[in-house]
Amino acid sequence: MTKIKAAILGSGNIGTDLMYKILKNDGNMELALVSGIDPNSEGLARAKEKGIAVSHHGIDPILEDPEIKIVFDATSAKAHKLNAQALREQGKLAVDMTPAAIGPFVVPTVNLHDHLEAMNVNLISCGGQATTPLVHAVNRVVPVHYAEVIATAASLSIGPGTRQNVDEFVRTTANAVQQIGGAKIARAIPVFNPAQPPINMTNSVYVVIKEEFDEAAVIESVQSIAAEISSYVPGYRLKGTPFVDYRETPWGRLPTVVIMNEVVGAGDFFPTYAGNLDIMTASAYRVGDVYAAHFLSAKEVTR
């Protein structure tokens, strides 16, 4: 079977977990290279053990290989701003796993197919991937006036990069809840929980609606999209049936849809409690696989 060659740029934890996801799935991609900047990194050592070509020369070997068409950038926002232009000039799709947000926000269950011609797409944040589809599920039944998402993750699963960019996380996630989820107003709140043993990622979503609506249709819509997400993030589940509660809001006493969900990691490289990281790598794999299928179909058309 013909496959599209892909590369991972960044041999840290995110890149390593993504490597295992690509290797364990018999999809439309072939992992051709893992490239970082630290010759002694664990990620490069693990890739080499798996028979994957490796390099510690950063983006250069990726740019030099014309057969690599999909590049997962698991470096940093600062680095991606430099990488994006170089990848675009070489005609390579950049799946941006950093907060750089140069390309359009993408959530696989909501708008991936709207951006199949884009050459740079951004995966927002773990909170964005976990909660934006839930807000969208409500909004496709009835307009959402306000959405508040609280993303709680184990402190041990939060790296220094995320800690240094909390404001960026808040802004990016809230923007996605508006732009993709459809909320008129949005707020995102991250919580880093230091509990021992570490907790799984949990998310609380509160959606305020200002008009009459079919509660059963909203609940069915949310359950349906949660099932779609679990097809590529197996540990994604709702913590009970969503419900509607009437609450006092700045706009008066209004119906509020309350949705709780949990994300348990697959344990490919990260511990299972790090569902916040797992949903990012699982979403990245899904995006890459769909793009690869799109590239393959385009090849068939041109033959």
DSSP assignment of 131-155: HHHHHHHHHTTS--SEEEEEEEEEG
pLDDT in tens, the chain (303 residues): 699 999 999 999 999 999 999 999 999 999 999 999 999 999 999 999 999 999 999 999 999 999 999 999 999 888 999 999 999 999 999 999 988 889 999 999 999 999 999 999 999 999 999 999 999 999 999 999 999 999 999 999 988 777 877 888 899 999 999 999 999 999 999 999 999 999 999 999 999 999 999 999 999 999 999 999 999 999 999 999 999 999 999 999 999 999 999 999 999 999 999 999 999 999 999 999 999 999 999 876 555
- Residue 156 is given by DSSP the state G
Do 179 and 147 meet the contact criterion of CB atoms below 8 Å apart?
A: no
Is the pTM higher than 0.85? The answer reads yes
Distance CA 54, CA 61 (A): 9
Helix%, strand%, coil% for the chain, nearest 5: 40, 25, 35
Contacts of 127 (CB under 8 A, 6+ apart): 149, 151, 169, 173, 188, 190, 203, 276
E strand residue ranges, 218-287: 236-238, 243-249, 252-263
| Catalytic residue annotation | 126
Q: Which long-range contacts (CB under 8 A, 24 or more apart) does 243-249 make?
A: 243/219, 244/215, 244/218, 247/208, 249/146, 249/208
